[in-house]
């Protein structure tokens, strides 16, 4: 009898919890939603988060606030998101760095991508651009390789931080070209590009969102894009592979993540809206203007993609010997 009553209590409690979660998901959201951008304003992550935020707020009927929490190559803001309550009110825009390579690059990463996050939707991707300050006497990828080989350990490059796509792109470049550049990490793409524009650091593998306006204006010299094919929005720039470094490929992707344990109905609602927004002409035009392209995937496909990225970069890190500075 006592055992039967215990089972009944457990069943009732489980039903109440499930019912509570279902009602919470049905009513979601009832207060503002925070989207953590784990990098300072001015870079690809921040820009894409803001492309998403305004139409998502309209769709949800609640304010969607972008909260910039830069530091440690995106780790500070990403850990904050991982530790947030799994209720759909704290999300984050993650990247190939924060939710791909960092899992292998850092021996003591304070979060686990596959354990601590629920992928919601892939949003966009963009090649990075290998660009130099006009004061550096190079006009092609081959020129840069030749100069770097003649001056090993002297030429500096700026990144958005250790483990970011800009760091990965440069590390892979050095490995394949057999050259040694000096890594100068910043707390985001915005601060990095400021010093490159000033000529204090002459090279960057910056995201198209932060670099392309300056290559178009002539303040920086674009040499090539890092993807496997030419960008539809930057057709005049060759790929690094076709410009003299066969086998090179690095593409930066961004996606929306929720803390693990977020109610499934909430995740699916957010995923559907994010995919719809990224497929809109407005989002496409804004992203294209920054050298990026929408690449929406729903939660199931995106989860499989993230798993494959973690596995891919584990192999690349092992092969190249990349480490977090």
**pLDDT tens profile 246-272:** 989 888 899 999 999 999 999 999 999
**How would residue 207 be classed by pLDDT, with cut points 50, 70 and 90?**
confident
Confidence check: pLDDT of 305 > 70: yes
Quick one: pLDDT band at residue 189, thresholds 50, 70, 90?
Answer: confident
Q: Give me the pLDDT at residue 288, please.
A: 87
Q: What is the DSSP letter of 282?
A: H
Query: In the predicted model, is pLDDT for residue 19 greater than 80?
Result: no
CATH code of 32-126+251-320, in short, is 3.40.190.150
User: Quick one: pLDDT band at residue 44, thresholds 50, 70, 90?
Assistant: confident
Residue 1: pLDDT band with limits 50, 70, 90: low
Which carries the bigger pLDDT value, residue 143 or residue 228? Answer: 143
- Please give the share of the chain, as a percent, with pLDDT higher than 90: 65
> Which of the four pLDDT bands, split at 50, 70 and 90, describes residue 24?
low
Judge whether 91 and 37 are in contact, CB under 8 Å: no
| Mean pLDDT, residues 190-195 taken together | 92
Selected residue with higher pLDDT from 71 and 193: 193
Mean pLDDT (the chain) is: 89
pLDDT at 99 over 90: yes
pTM, two decimal places: 0.77
The reported pLDDT for the residue numbered 107 is 85
Check residue 249 and give its pLDDT: 86
Tokens 């651009």 correspond to: 129
More confident residue, 29 or 14: 29
**What pLDDT, in 10s, does the model give residues 289-299?**
887 889 999 99
pLDDT at residue 321, rounded to an integer: 76
State the DSSP code for 73: G
Q: How far apart are CA 225 and CA 138, in angstroms?
A: 16
Question: Would the CATH topology of 32-126+251-320 be identical to that of 127-225?
Answer: yes
Residue 237 has pLDDT above 90, yes or no: yes
Quick one: average pLDDT of 304-310?
94
Higher-confidence residue of 251 and 185: namely 185
Residue 226: name the closest of 191, 250, 247 by CA: 250
How far is it, in rounded angstroms, from Cα 175 to Cα 310? 20
Burial of residue 2 (CB within 10 Å: 0-12, 13-18, 19+) is exposed
Residues 6+ apart with CB under 8 A from 323: 105
- Model pLDDT, residue 307: 96
Question: Which CATH number applies to 127-225?
Answer: 3.40.190.10
Q: Which of the pair, 232 or 116, is modelled with greater confidence?
A: 116
77 burial (CB, 10 Å; 0-12 / 13-18 / 19+) is buried
State residue 4's pLDDT score: 54
Q: Select the more confidently predicted residue: 10 or 153.
A: 153
Give the pLDDT confidence score for residue 46 in this predicted structure. Answer: 93
CB contact set of 12 (below 8 Å; sequence gap of 6+)? none
pLDDT at residue 21 is higher than 70: no
Mean per-residue pLDDT, 211-221: 92
Q: Look at residue 306 in the predicted model and tell me its pLDDT.
A: 97
Domain boundaries, the chain: 32-126+251-320, 127-225
Whether 37 shows a pLDDT value over 70: the answer reads yes
């Amino acid at each position: 009898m006592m055992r039967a009553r215990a089972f009944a209590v457990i069943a009732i409690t489980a039903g109440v919890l499930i019912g509570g979660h279902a009602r919470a998901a049905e009513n979601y959201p009832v207060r503002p939603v925070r989207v953590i951008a784990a990098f300072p304003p001015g870079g690809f992550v921040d820009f894409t988060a803001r492309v998403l935020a305004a139409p998502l707020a309209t769709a949800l009927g609640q304010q969607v606030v972008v909260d910039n929490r830069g530091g440690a190559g995106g780790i500070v803001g990403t850990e904050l998101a991982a530790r947030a309550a799994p209720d759909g009110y704290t999300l984050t825009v993650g990247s190939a760095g924060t939710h791909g390579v960092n899992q292998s690059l850092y021996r003591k990463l304070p979060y686990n991508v596959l354990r601590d996050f629920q992928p919601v939707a892939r949003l966009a991707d963009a090649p990075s651009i290998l660009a130099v300050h006009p004061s550096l006497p190079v006009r092609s990828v081959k020129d840069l390789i030749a100069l770097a080989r003649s001056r090993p350990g002297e030429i500096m490059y700026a990144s958005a931080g250790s483990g970011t796509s800009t760091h990965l792109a440069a590390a892979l470049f050095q490995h394949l070209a057999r050259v040694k550049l000096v890594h100068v990490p910043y707390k985001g793409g915005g601060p990095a590009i400021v010093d490159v524009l000033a000529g204090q650091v002459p090279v960057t593998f910056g995201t198209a969102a932060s670099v392309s306006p300056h290559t178009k204006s002539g303040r920086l010299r674009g040499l090539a894009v890092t993807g496997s094919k030419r960008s539809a929005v930057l057709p005049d720039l060759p790929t690094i592979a076709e410009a003299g470094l066969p086998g090179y490929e690095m593409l930066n992707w961004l996606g929306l993540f929720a803390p693990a344990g977020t109610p499934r109905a909430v995740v699916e609602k957010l995923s559907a809206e994010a995919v719809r927004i990224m497929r809109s002409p407005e989002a496409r035009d804004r992203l294209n203007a920054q050298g990026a392209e929408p690449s929406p995937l729903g939660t199931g496909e995106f989860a499989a993609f993230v798993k494959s990225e973690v596995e891919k970069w584990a192999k690349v890190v092992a092969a190249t010997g990349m480490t977090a500075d």
